[in-house]
């Protein structure tokens, strides 16, 4: 189904799939007299919850993304994310406020396998991108959210786009439900960046723990305190004003092994440069160390994979996993994030 938001008539929408019905229901909610809409969190860091969000703040968020990417009225977009979550809802809102032509595709691991025409904008999870590499050149602007983009996937994206000589721009997003999708983007291709660039009218700082604080009054009146450890890039006064930060890891994922603090996300990025498997570092209770560093790999046990890991130049000796466990499937939340809580329970 294709919705042209420059000529929208909700009553005339011909819906067939369950996903299209959900899109139409959301549109009816959006154009109702209510000033808010209900949004569900992913549950990746706790119990999923539903809360109300002001429509005007969603409009503000949509404007920031559309302006950053340079989207214009009449551009073609594609939605393939669940509309229960903020990621899917914001794709619809961006299409509404910028009057885009929105192609509706049921969320799946291979959402653009039947795509044949170029589109200007799409948002996907890393898992969806992994299964869509052969069609990425058809998307002019792609944002990836829901989970961190692995180093291995970044390599595949760059190689694929270089082969097709494509000008596609791919960005990794940073945000959460409370910031109404994202407040900053980091380019993956064609010019890979290490730091997220924050949108205009968004202020960032760190607390005493080194965790990111966000003040984005156009999308949330409160100062949002995250548990994300970051490094904020400071520019000379002579340079243009730019707010950038680098994500180091979540403080509640930090592993304390024998008194040493270990950031699992950094180790995971290092490992994923060498192997294609999903990799997760966890701290498992240990009598002598407090927490033992364990590496969980998705897939069948492989001597080749173990050999590659043994050759990885870990910065510190205590960064080497004390144990490597292969698991058939690493649990994920409905929107694709690794569910560390459930994985730890399984172990």
Q: What is the CATH number of the domain that holds 234?
A: 3.40.50.12780
162 CB-near residues (< 8 Å, 6+ apart): none
Do residues 39 and 86 make contact, with C-beta atoms less than 8 angstroms apart?
yes
**Of 249, 264, 289, which one is at a domain's C-terminal end?**
249
pLDDT band at 46 (very low <50, low <70, confident <90, very high): low
Same domain, 204 and 259: no
Same domain, 292 and 342: yes
List pLDDT tens digits, range 104-125: 999 999 999 999 999 999 999 9
How many folded domains does the chain comprise? 2
85/123 Cα distance (integer angstroms):
13
Same domain, 230 and 265: no
Return the number of other C-beta atoms located less than 10 Å from residue 156's C-beta. 16
Same domain, 96 and 209: yes
CATH of the domain at 327: 3.30.300.30
Same domain, 322 and 173: no
pTM: 0.80
Please give the pLDDT value at position 14.
87
List pLDDT tens digits, range 322-345: 999 999 999 987 756 788 889 999
Same domain, 58 and 200: yes
**Of 249, 273, 293, which one is at a domain's C-terminal end?**
249
List pLDDT tens digits, range 295-330: 999 999 999 999 999 999 998 999 999 999 999 999
Same domain, 8 and 139: yes
Q: Which residues constitute the domain of residue 23?
A: 2-249
Same domain, 122 and 27: yes
pLDDT band at 283 (very low <50, low <70, confident <90, very high): very high
Same domain, 126 and 146: yes
Same domain, 77 and 225: yes
Same domain, 312 and 295: yes
**Of 181, 214, 249, which one is at a domain's C-terminal end?**
249
Please give the pLDDT value at position 114.
94
For residue 307, count CB atoms less than 10 angstroms from its CB and return exposed for 0-12, middle for 13-18, buried for 19 or more. Answer: exposed
Mean pLDDT (whole number) for 2-31: 93
Same domain, 169 and 43: yes
> In terms of pLDDT, which residue wins out, 177 or 82?
82
Task: Output the CA torsion 7→13→16→18 (10° steps).
Answer: 90
Please give the pLDDT value at position 332.
86
pLDDT band at 47 (very low <50, low <70, confident <90, very high): low
Mean pLDDT (whole number) for 81-94: 94
Question: Residue 112's Cα: distance from chain center in Å?
Answer: 18
């Amino acid at each position: 189904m294709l919705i042209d938001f420059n000529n929208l008539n909700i009553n005339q929408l011909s819906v067939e799939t369950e996903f299209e019905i959900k899109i139409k229901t959301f549109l009816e909610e959006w154009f109702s007299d209510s000033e808010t809409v209900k949004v569900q969190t992913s549950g990746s860091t706790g119990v999923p919850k539903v809360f109300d969000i002001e429509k005007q703040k969603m409009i503000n968020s949509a404007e920031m993304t559309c302006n950053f990417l340079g989207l214009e009225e009449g551009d073609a977009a594609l939605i393939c994310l669940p509309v229960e979550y903020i990621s899917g809802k914001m794709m619809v809102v961006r299409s509404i406020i910028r009057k885009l032509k929105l192609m509706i595709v049921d969320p799946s691991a291979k959402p653009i396998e039947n795509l044949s025409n170029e589109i200007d904008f799409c948002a996907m999870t890393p898992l969806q991108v992994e299964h869509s590499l052969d069609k990425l050149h058809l998307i002019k602007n792609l944002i990836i959210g829901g989970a961190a983009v692995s180093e291995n996937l970044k390599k595949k994206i760059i190689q694929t786009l270089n082969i097709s000589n494509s000008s596609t721009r791919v960005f990794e997003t940073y945000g959460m439900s409370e910031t109404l999708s994202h407040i900053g983007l980091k380019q993956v291709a064609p010019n890979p960046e290490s730091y997220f660039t924050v949108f205009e009218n968004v202020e960032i700082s760190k607390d005493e723990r080194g965790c990111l604080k966000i003040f984005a009054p156009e999308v949330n009146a409160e100062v949002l305190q995250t548990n994300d450890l970051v490094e904020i890039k400071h520019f000379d006064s002579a340079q243009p004003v730019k707010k950038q930060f680098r994500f180091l890891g979540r403080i509640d994922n930090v592993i304390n092994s024998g008194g040493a603090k270990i950031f699992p996300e950094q180790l995971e990025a290092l490992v994923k440069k060498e192997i294609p498997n999903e990799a997760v570092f966890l701290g498992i209770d240990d009598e002598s160390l407090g927490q033992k560093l364990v590496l969980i790999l998705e897939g069948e046990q492989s001597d080749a994979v173990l050999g590659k890991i043994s050759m990885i130049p870990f910065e510190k000796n205590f960064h080497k996993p004390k144990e490597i466990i292969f698991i058939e499937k690493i649990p994920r939340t409905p929107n694709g994030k690794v569910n560390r809580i459930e994985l730890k329970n399984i172990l």
